């Protein structure tokens, strides 16, 4: 259980995508990576290790080989999770109580947000003498609660309740008038009047914990998709040098469709590919065509109480190994070629693999891989770890699977995947 403690610390320290990227930066800095400014020329050297952020909520890190590479091996995941976002005028009073005016970010299970300790985290845009700077903030204490309605006024509550986010989901955080921005300013060590803008989110205060007869499960907020963000970073930082370019991408905004300047539906990855390819005189189109992407986002593990919701032959179990996700509509990128390559690498590394497809009468989810490859078109496979209660305020996953994923991803980075011609691939697994 090498990586579970690291994962739990990472999730607890990462209430928002801004914090997740900040923590990834700390991990990269500690391993000697150089931070690049996207708005300046890049001076890259063979053998060098670099990263850049966009919006401070997405990050791409890469490691260059000593010799001339001809392709990239990339793992992409996402740093955002479904939650509630504070509106620009975030204050409101409800029956004299101080409340927060929030709207949904992504498709959360709303009922799981009731009656649990919450706080506010994100970033403040602070005025300076010359313009603005960013200050991350996490009001690191039990600050707010969304109280549920008592069953006496809601006798049908256990038969299903319709929730209206404008009415039902407003958190209370004080007995009288309070100023959330003043609390955030104080926590960030800035003056209230210097806050010129903010991106603040309501986040769960629950800490990740292990549970089960043998501590075989983890219960935690934001497992989707910080579990893949963390395991991919752990594998990236431990992988031995290779002949290709290793790339780690953690994108923001997957939960709202990826369509932002820093999302998977942006130029961020293709911009990085062309700038890196230029260092070695590689045509970026040829390098892209020979490249390979792992799109890593968690998967649905078969629910013990509702097995009927899952396909009989294509279902995944918690602690059963890395899940390869398939979908005929290609919402997932996996196809026969990418399946063969990835499953072969896992077999060589001794990592168990499970195959997942939805029931044909169930509309599944989607993720960022198929969006990313419409820009950077390369062989790709969608993978994840099996979890329960996806998009609940607390999700469960298997402890053993954390190590399964790190081993699979490390083996992916260390393998040489050479596309010799369309449909012909040579794989050297290490
Ligand atoms: Co996800």
Q: How do residues 166-191 score in pLDDT, each as one tens digit?
A: 999 999 999 988 999 999 999 999 99
* 316-342 pLDDT per residue, tens: 999 999 999 999 888 899 999 999 999
Q: How many CB atoms are located within 10 Å of the residue 364 CB?
A: 17
Whole-number Å distance, alpha carbon 62 to ligand 1 midpoint, is: 22
- Residue 114 pLDDT exceeds 80: yes
Whole-number Å distance, alpha carbon 316 to ligand 1 midpoint, is: 16
- Residue 364 pLDDT exceeds 90: no
pLDDT of residue 291: 97
Looking at the fold, whether 375 and 343 belong to one and the same domain comes out as: yes
Please state, in angstroms and rounded to a whole number, the distance separating the CA atoms of residues 136 and 150.
37
Looking at the fold, whether 177 and 243 belong to one and the same domain comes out as: no
Whole-number Å distance, alpha carbon 77 to ligand 1 midpoint, is: 8
Q: What angle do CA 141, 232, 80 make, to 5 degrees?
A: 40
Q: Quick one: which H or E segment has residue 137? A: strand 132-138
- CB–CB of 230/144 below 8 Å? no
Looking at the fold, whether 344 and 416 belong to one and the same domain comes out as: yes
Looking at the fold, whether 15 and 141 belong to one and the same domain comes out as: no
Whole-number Å distance, alpha carbon 367 to ligand 1 midpoint, is: 6
Please state, in angstroms and rounded to a whole number, the distance separating the CA atoms of residues 207 and 205.
6
The answer to whether position 391 is within a domain reads yes
Sheet with 299-300: strands ordered across = 209-211, 217-220, 395-398, 386-388, 299-300
Burial (CB < 10 A; 0-12, 13-18, 19+), residue 11, is buried
Q: Give me the number of domains the chain comprises.
A: 2
Whole-number Å distance, alpha carbon 193 to ligand 1 midpoint, is: 37
Please state, in angstroms and rounded to a whole number, the distance separating the CA atoms of residues 249 and 264.
9
pLDDT of residue 363: 84
Q: Tell me which of 204, 230, 253 is where a domain ends.
A: 204
Handedness of CA 110, 112, 116, 117 (dihedral sign): negative
**Residues shown for the chain:** 430
Q: Tell me which of 204, 235, 265 is where a domain ends.
A: 204
pLDDT of residue 310: 96
**Beta strand segments in 275-422, E:** 292-296, 299-300, 322-325, 353-356, 379-384, 386-388, 395-398, 416-421
Name the band, by pLDDT with cuts 50, 70 and 90, for residue 213.
very high
Whole-number Å distance, alpha carbon 399 to ligand 1 midpoint, is: 18
Residues of the domain holding 102: 83-204
- Residue 366 pLDDT exceeds 90: no
pLDDT of residue 2: 84
* 271-283 pLDDT per residue, tens: 999 999 998 999 9
- CB–CB of 320/280 below 8 Å? no
* 246-266 pLDDT per residue, tens: 999 999 999 999 999 999 999
Q: Determine how β-strand 72-78 pairs with β-strand 292-296.
A: parallel
Q: Is 197 helix (H, G, I), strand (E, B) or coil?
A: strand
Handedness of CA 279, 280, 282, 287 (dihedral sign): negative
Name the band, by pLDDT with cuts 50, 70 and 90, for residue 430.
confident
Whole-number Å distance, alpha carbon 298 to ligand 1 midpoint, is: 6
Whole-number Å distance, alpha carbon 333 to ligand 1 midpoint, is: 15
Whole-number Å distance, alpha carbon 383 to ligand 1 midpoint, is: 11
The answer to whether position 366 is within a domain reads yes
Alpha helices in 322-386 (DSSP H): 336-349, 369-372
Mean pLDDT of the chain: 96
Looking at the fold, whether 105 and 74 belong to one and the same domain comes out as: no
- Residue 1 pLDDT exceeds 80: no
- Residue 198 pLDDT exceeds 90: yes
The answer to whether position 355 is within a domain reads yes
pLDDT of residue 222: 98
pLDDT of residue 390: 96
pLDDT of residue 121: 98
Looking at the fold, whether 237 and 308 belong to one and the same domain comes out as: yes
Please state, in angstroms and rounded to a whole number, the distance separating the CA atoms of residues 60 and 276.
12
pLDDT of residue 61: 98
The answer to whether position 23 is within a domain reads yes
* 150-172 pLDDT per residue, tens: 999 989 989 988 999 999 999 99
Whole-number Å distance, alpha carbon 225 to ligand 1 midpoint, is: 5
Whole-number Å distance, alpha carbon 97 to ligand 1 midpoint, is: 35
The answer to whether position 211 is within a domain reads no
- Residue 138 pLDDT exceeds 80: yes
Q: Residue 229 pairs with which residues in a beta bridge? A: none
CATH number of the domain that 196 lies in?
A: 2.30.250.10
Burial (CB < 10 A; 0-12, 13-18, 19+), residue 233, is buried
């Amino acid at each position: 259980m090498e990586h579970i403690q690291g994962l739990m610390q990472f999730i607890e320290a990462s209430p928002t995508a801004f914090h997740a990227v900040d923590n990834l930066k700390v991990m990269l800095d500690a391993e000697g990576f150089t931070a690049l400014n996207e708005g300046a020329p890049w001076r890259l050297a063979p053998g060098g290790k670099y990263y850049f952020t966009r919006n401070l909520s997405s990050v791409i890190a890469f490691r260059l080989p000593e010799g001339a590479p001809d392709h990239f091996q990339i793992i992409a995941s996402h740093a955002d999770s479904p939650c509630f976002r504070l509106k620009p005028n975030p204050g409101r009073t409800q029956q004299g109580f101080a409340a927060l005016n929030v709207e949904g970010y992504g498709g959360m299970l709303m009922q799981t947000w009731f009656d649990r300790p919450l706080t506010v985290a994100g970033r403040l845009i602070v005025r300076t003498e010359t313009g603005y700077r960013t200050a991350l903030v996490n009001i690191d204490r039990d600050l707010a609660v969304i109280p549920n309605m008592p069953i006496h006024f809601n006798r049908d509550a256990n038969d299903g309740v319709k929730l209206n986010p404008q009415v039902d989901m407003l958190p209370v955080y004080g007995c009288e008038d309070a100023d959330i921005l003043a609390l955030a300013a104080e926590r960030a060590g800035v003056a209230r009047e210097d806050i010129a803008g903010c991106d603040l989110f309501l986040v769960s205060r629950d800490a990740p914990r292990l549970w089960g007869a043998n501590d075989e499960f983890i219960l935690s907020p934001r497992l989707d998709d910080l579990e893949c963000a963390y395991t991919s970073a752990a594998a990236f930082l431990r992988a031995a040098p290779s002949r290709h370019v290793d790339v780690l991408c953690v994108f923001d905004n997957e939960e709202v469709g990826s369509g932002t300047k820093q999302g998977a539906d942006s130029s961020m990855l293709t911009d990085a590919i062309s700038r890196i390819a230029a260092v070695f005189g590689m045509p970026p189109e040829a390098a892209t065509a020979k490249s390979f992407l792992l799109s890593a986002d968690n998967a649905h593990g078969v629910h013990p109480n509702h097995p009927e919701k899952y396909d009989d032959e294509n279902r995944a179990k918690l602690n059963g190994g890395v899940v390869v996700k398939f979908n005929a509509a290609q919402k997932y990128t996996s196809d026969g070629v990418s399946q063969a390559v990835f499953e072969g690498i896992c077999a060589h590394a001794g990592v168990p693999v499970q195959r997942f497809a939805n029931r044909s009468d169930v509309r599944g989810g989607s993720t960022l891989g198929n969006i990313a490859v419409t820009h950077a078109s390369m062989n790709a496979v969608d993978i994840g770890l099996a979890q329960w209660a996806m998009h609940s305020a607390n999700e469960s996953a298997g402890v053993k699977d954390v190590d399964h994923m790190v081993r699979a991803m490390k083996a992916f980075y260390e393998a040489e995947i050479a596309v010799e011609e369309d449909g012909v691939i040579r794989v050297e697994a290490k």
